[in-house]
């Protein structure tokens, strides 16, 4: 098939080229948008990522130019109008579980870095400053951690926490028996957020989870607790979180995602002024650590993404069952 691949970096090109199963692929560094959609004209399939936009208007344009298939090289699909794609009889396929451990391990890396302040210690030592002042952390052993969402990534994270000896509370509409056997205690969101030292988000972004962490729910949180989000930026009301950081309601914040990340993430703005007041403010806080959506960035994850992506394309081309097809109610 003739495939247009959007939002590519060199690592995307390397892994997708290595595992290409004989398709004609063209890489575009730009994200898919109403302006860039013209680049996909004449392609049978498009391959997109987390910050590409595929709305009704773009789908109409691309269908008219021959689009037959949409493949996501990620698990989330809140950026795609799946229901309208179904109406156009354009299947949308994803990579549902490329490497849960990759994202789970990155979440733990954020926790460890914020807690033991290794990023600050690193910079100090490079300047010849070996002082330990203001570098004190806490033991994670026996600390209470709230895991919101126990799908593949959330479960991988719970297993990591178990190794640290943490007490794990969780909230998920579909509790996992395996996690319960591991000692994870499920409860309502209200119960799970209360009296914990760390809160970490591992749920999809839907209409129900938009601003899951908002002003009202932040009032439930133990003062000084750590908040981690490696899932989707829209799970957090950024304005409310900034106010909680200023008041001490949240002690520290670790993000690998940001609500308006599509304007900045995956690009170099080191020589520019960031035109986003909330992001600039967060970056300036000493108790905030932000990474640019790199949780998925491991060799294992990129290998699985490439293999499953081409497996999805091959299944469509050969008429095989589309096991990774996204179907929404009402489609």
Any idea which residues carry the catalytic annotation? 232, 261, 293
Distance of CA 112 to the CA centre of its chain: 19
| Dihedral sign of CA atoms 241, 242, 243, 244 in order | positive
- In contact, 83 and 328? CB cutoff 8 Å: yes
DSSP state, 222?
P
Question: What tokens does 279 get?
Answer: 């992001």
Q: In sequence order, what DSSP letters do the residues of 81-129 get, joined into one string? A: -HHHHHHTT--EE--S-S-HHHHHHHHHHHHHHHHHTHHHHHHHHHTT-
Question: What tokens does 80 get?
Answer: 């795609």
Of residues 239, 256, 255, the one with CA closest to residue 247 = 239
- In contact, 97 and 85? CB cutoff 8 Å: no
Alpha carbons 168 and 178: distance in angstroms, whole number: 13
Task: Give the DSSP H/E element, type plus range, for residue 284.
Answer: helix 277-284
Question: Coil, helix or strand for 303?
Answer: helix
- In contact, 265 and 292? CB cutoff 8 Å: yes
């Amino acid at each position: 098939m003739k495939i247009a691949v959007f939002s590519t970096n060199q690592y995307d090109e390397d892994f997708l080229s290595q595992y290409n199963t004989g398709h004609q692929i063209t890489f575009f560094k730009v994200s898919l948008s109403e302006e860039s959609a013209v680049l996909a004209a004449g392609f049978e399939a498009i391959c997109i990522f987390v910050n590409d936009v595929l709305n009704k208007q773009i789908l109409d344009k691309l269908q008219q130019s021959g689009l037959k298939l949409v493949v996501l090289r990620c698990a989330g699909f809140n950026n795609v109008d799946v229901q309208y794609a179904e109406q156009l009889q354009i299947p949308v396929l994803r990579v549902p579980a490329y490497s849960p451990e990759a994202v789970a391990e990155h979440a733990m890396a954020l926790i460890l870095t914020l807690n033991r302040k290794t990023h600050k210690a690193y910079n100090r030592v490079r300047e010849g400053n070996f002082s330990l002042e203001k570098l004190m952390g806490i033991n994670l052993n026996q600390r209470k951690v709230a895991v919101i969402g126990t799908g593949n990534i959330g479960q991988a994270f719970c297993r990591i926490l178990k190794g640290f000896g943490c007490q794990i509370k969780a909230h998920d509409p579909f509790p996992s028996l395996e996690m319960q056997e591991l000692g994870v205690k499920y409860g309502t969101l209200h119960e799970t957020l209360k009296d914990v030292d760390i809160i970490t988000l591992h749920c999809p972004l839907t209409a129900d989870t938009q601003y899951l962490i908002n002003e009202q729910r932040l009032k439930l949180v133990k003062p000084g607790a750590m908040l981690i989000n490696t899932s989707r930026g829209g799970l957090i009301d950024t304005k409310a979180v900034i106010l909680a950081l200023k008041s001490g309601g949240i002690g520290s914040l670790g993000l690998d995602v940001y609500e308006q990340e599509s304007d900045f993430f995956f690009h170099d703005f080191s020589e520019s002024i960031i035109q986003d007041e909330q992001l600039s403010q967060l970056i300036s806080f000493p108790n905030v650590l932000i990474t640019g959506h790199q949780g998925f960035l491991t060799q294992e994850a990129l290998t699985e993404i490439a293999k499953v992506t081409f497996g999805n394309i091959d299944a469509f081309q050969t008429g095989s069952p589309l096991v990774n097809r996204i179907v929404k109610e009402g489609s």
